[in-house]
Amino acid sequence: MTRPLPLGILISGRGTNLAAIHAAIVAGRLDARIVAVCSNRPEAPGVAWARAQGLPVALFPRSAYPSRAAAQAAMAAHLQAVGAELVVLAGWDQVLVPSFVAAFAGRLLNVHPSLLPAFARTMHAVEEALAYGVKITGCTVHYVTEEVDAGPIILQAAVPVYDDDTPETLLARIHEQEHQLLPRAIALHAAGRLRVEGRRVRILPDPAAEPR
């Protein structure tokens, strides 16, 4: 039997993707365990939710450190100390410094509310998609590299844009897809089924599904 993959989850807001990951674990769809929920915003609703579930929370507010790099160095040290083998940005609103990315190279996932490379490097991808007038947007799960929102793409899902959409209604439908995609990407990583080949991520067949 394989052991559950130790996860570190980074959040800055409501924590809906954290909740989706936790639900997938509880339901047995994801063989993982959350060893740390880290946040740069102590007041974030996701922090209170994580504590209510009994998840281990650690806070790294920018105001408590001399620099963003120092805060992220402390966070990296904490994640390493608790044995996180995969770190997931699940609604994280801060650019990661190169040293943090390097510490978890190949073990760092992000979800972004657009079909990358469209509407990259912004915290307002949904609003920008509406303003641009696109008919389809979506979400992307990708490996994190030093270049923001430019790492190899693991999974994407398309979401239609309706004429009467507001940022809130469109984001709600994007979140529905994120909540499915992110646990699936984590499961693929945990199973060793993701192979990075340059800019591409190849999803390897499931050995358990192959005929004997």
Catalytic annotation, residues: 112
Contacts of residue 51, Cβ cutoff 8 Å, sequence gap at least 6: 57
Which one, of 64, 44, 60, 48, lies nearest residue 8 by Cα?
Answer: 60
**Burial of 112 by CB count in 10 Å (0-12 exposed, 13-18 middle, 19+ buried)?**
buried
Sign of CA dihedral 114, 157, 175, 20: negative
Q: What is the DSSP string of 84-101?
A: -SEEEESS--SPPPHHHH
Report the candidate in 139, 151, 85 with the shortest Cα–Cα distance to residue 111.
139
**String of DSSP letters for 15-61:** -HHHHHHHHHHHTTSS-EEEEEEEES-TT-HHHHHHHHTT--EEE--
Q: How many angstroms separate the CA atoms of 60 and 46, rounded?
A: 14
Residue 133 to residue 149: CA distance in whole angstroms: 21
Cα–Cα distance for residue pair 184/121, rounded to 1 Å: 24
Tokens of 132: 């641009």
